[in-house]
Structure 1
Amino acid sequence: MDIVRHLPHHDVVFPEIFCHFKIESLFQLRLVSKCWQSLVTEYFRRRQNLDLSEFGQRVTVDAFLLMTSNNKVLKQLLVPEATSWLMDKHLLPVIHNCFHVLTDIDISNCSQLSSSSLHSLAANCRNLTKVSLKGCIWVDKDNFKQLVINNRGLRKIDVSWCWSLDDDCLINAAFSCPFLEELILSNTRTASDSALQIIAMKYKELKYLSVKGCWQVTNRGIRAIGDHCKDLKVLHVSNCLGVTEASLARLRVRGVAMDVPVPFEDSLIEIENAMDTIIKPHMCLHLTALSHPVLKEQKRTNCQSRSMKRN
């Protein structure tokens, strides 16, 4: 501790040493002494990213408050699957303190939260680039619209299983966030071809799109995506019964990765075409050889010889 005490905390200890520690190790370090406890607390107060993705429900409220209280520089907050402990009263202070710098937030499947948290994000944050609201059935239309309007720099939106959102919300996002690269609409139920056509025309930089489980999406919407989103790299369309190879084939040729395989009958056609390229040249060569004049005469002589032997 004496060595660390004489090192610059903000310039050396925090950015060069503590940043390599796992969160569990930092909490264990707090138990060593009051000096270490104070130092770790100060580090959390100045930490710019907090990723609790691997912990889920194992985080306690006290631990979360210790890591976030008095922090006014937090840019990234990832707390997915905090279904049993994260509530509005715990999250709202963080948003209030860090709204001016917060760029990336993931509160997927945080079922104890409410629209109050979304309202705070929508009303205060202006610099968000990534928002993950997967499984947050409490997400409402008005606050979502306000969120995208106030954050034109959004690059990723995940609203999977947000059943209350409709085409109007998605179209509103398309007009508000022109730089979006990743859009996840899985199982939103109401997403349709009409929304996809607007999305296709507005999201020129779209690279990742998931509409799996969106039963209203058909080939018409996917064709629009293929026509306009030239940078698309990944497309998820599983459980979209109205989407077939009629719209997917051209995207496969472009190298777009998909979560549905090529239908079996199409694979057979490909095999048949491949076999044709191998067998047909040999067949043509064989027929050409049989039609050669010298070979024809030799074949006639052989037939006569066999006939004389029989007689």
Structure 2
Amino acid sequence: MDIVRYLPHHDVVFPKIFCHFKIESLFQLRLVSKCWQSLVTEYFKQRRNLDLSEFGQRVTLDAFLQITSDNKVLKQLLVPEATSWLMDKHLLPVIHNCSHVLTDIDLSNCSQLSSLSLHSLAANCRNLTKVSLKGCAWVDKDDFKQLVINNRGLRKIDVSWCWSLDDGCLINAAFSCAFLEELVLSYIRFVTDSALVIIAMECKGLKHLSVRGCCQITNCGIRAIGEYCKDLKILHVSDCRDVTDASLARLRVRGVAMDVPVPS
């Protein structure tokens, strides 16, 4: 500790040393002494990226609060699968404190949250580029529309299993977010070719599209994607009963990776 104490914390210790530590190691370091605890706490205040995706249910609410409670500079907040402990009252302060810098958020399968969190994101954040709400049945149509309107620089949207969304929401997203590169709509039962055609025409830079399990999608929508989205690299259409090789064949020739086999 004596050596570290005399090194510049914000110029050397944090960006050159602590940034290479795993979260577990930082918490272990806090237990060594009050000096180390104070130093790690100060580091948490200025940490810009928080990715808890590898920990799943092993993350505790106490750990999350210790990392985020005084942080006002988080750009990336990835807390997927926080099904048992993350609630609106824990997330809302983080959104409020970091709304001006937050660009990447993943709340996949965070079932204890509600539309309050989405409303806060939509109302306060203007710089989001990646949003994952996979498996969040609480996603509300109006708040989703406001989210995409206020974040026109979005490059990635994942709303798989968000059952309340429909063509109107997705058409709104297409008109608002012309720079979309990845759009995951898996198992949204109300999405149809009407939305897919607008998405194709407005989001021509799309590289990854998933409509897996969208039972109302047909060859018509896929042909539109093929016609307008020349940069498409990945297409997921499994469990789409009305999508056949009549629309997929040309995409295969272009080298687009798919999750359905070539028909024999």
- Measure, in 1, the Cα distance between the counterparts of 2:220 and 2:190: 16
Once the 2 structures are TM-superposed, how far is the Cα of residue 223 of structure 1 from its aligned partner?
A: 0.2
State the AA in 1 paired with 2:260: V
State the AA in 2 paired with 1:122: A
Which is helix-richer, 1 or 2? 1
- Measure, in 1, the Cα distance between the counterparts of 2:191 and 2:17: 47
Counterpart of 1:227?
Answer: 227
Counterpart of 1:243?
Answer: 243
TM-score, with length taken from structure 2 = 1.00
Q: Which structure is richer in relative contact order (CA contacts within 8 A, separation 6 or more)?
A: 2
- Measure, in 1, the Cα distance between the counterparts of 2:161 and 2:214: 10
Task: Give runs of aligned pairs for residues 44-83 of structure 1, distance below 5 A.
Answer: 44-83=44-83
- Measure, in 2, the Cα distance between the counterparts of 1:100 and 1:66: 21
- Measure, in 2, the Cα distance between the counterparts of 1:111 and 1:140: 14
Once the 2 structures are TM-superposed, how far is the Cα of residue 56 of structure 1 from its aligned partner?
A: 1.4
Counterpart of 1:202?
Answer: 202
Once the 2 structures are TM-superposed, how far is the Cα of residue 95 of structure 1 from its aligned partner?
A: 0.3
- Measure, in 2, the Cα distance between the counterparts of 1:59 and 1:7: 31
- Measure, in 2, the Cα distance between the counterparts of 1:118 and 1:131: 11
Task: Give runs of aligned pairs for residues 94-173 of structure 1, distance below 5 A.
Answer: 94-173=94-173
Find the residue that maps to 2:105 and give its secondary structure: strand
Once the 2 structures are TM-superposed, how far is the Cα of residue 193 of structure 1 from its aligned partner?
A: 0.5
State the AA in 1 paired with 2:220: R
Once the 2 structures are TM-superposed, how far is the Cα of residue 176 of structure 1 from its aligned partner?
A: 0.4
Q: Could you say what the CA RMSD is over the residues aligned between the two structures, in angstroms?
A: 0.4
Q: Deviations over 1:75-97 (max 9, x none)?
A: 00000000000000000000000
- Measure, in 2, the Cα distance between the counterparts of 1:128 and 1:185: 18
Q: Deviations over 1:100-138 (max 9, x none)?
A: 000000000000000000000000000000000000000
Counterpart of 1:212?
Answer: 212
- Measure, in 1, the Cα distance between the counterparts of 2:253 and 2:201: 21
- Measure, in 2, the Cα distance between the counterparts of 1:78 and 1:123: 20
Give the paired residue count: 264
Counterpart of 2:93?
Answer: 93
TM-score, with length taken from structure 1 = 0.85
Q: Deviations over 1:214-233 (max 9, x none)?
A: 00000000000000000000
State the AA in 2 paired with 1:190: F
Percent identity over paired residues? 85
Q: 1:181 and 2:181 equivalent?
A: yes
Once the 2 structures are TM-superposed, how far is the Cα of residue 58 of structure 1 from its aligned partner?
A: 1.1
- Measure, in 2, the Cα distance between the counterparts of 1:81 and 1:189: 23
> Which stretches of structure 1, 4 residues or longer, exceed 3 Å deviation after superposition?
none
- Measure, in 1, the Cα distance between the counterparts of 2:137 and 2:11: 43
- Measure, in 2, the Cα distance between the counterparts of 1:191 and 1:3: 59
Q: Deviations over 1:245-280 (max 9, x none)?
A: 00000000000000011012xxxxxxxxxxxxxxxx
State the AA in 1 paired with 2:54: E
Find the residue that maps to 2:173 and give its secondary structure: helix
State the AA in 2 paired with 1:97: N
Find the residue that maps to 2:241 and give its secondary structure: coil
State the AA in 2 paired with 1:166: D
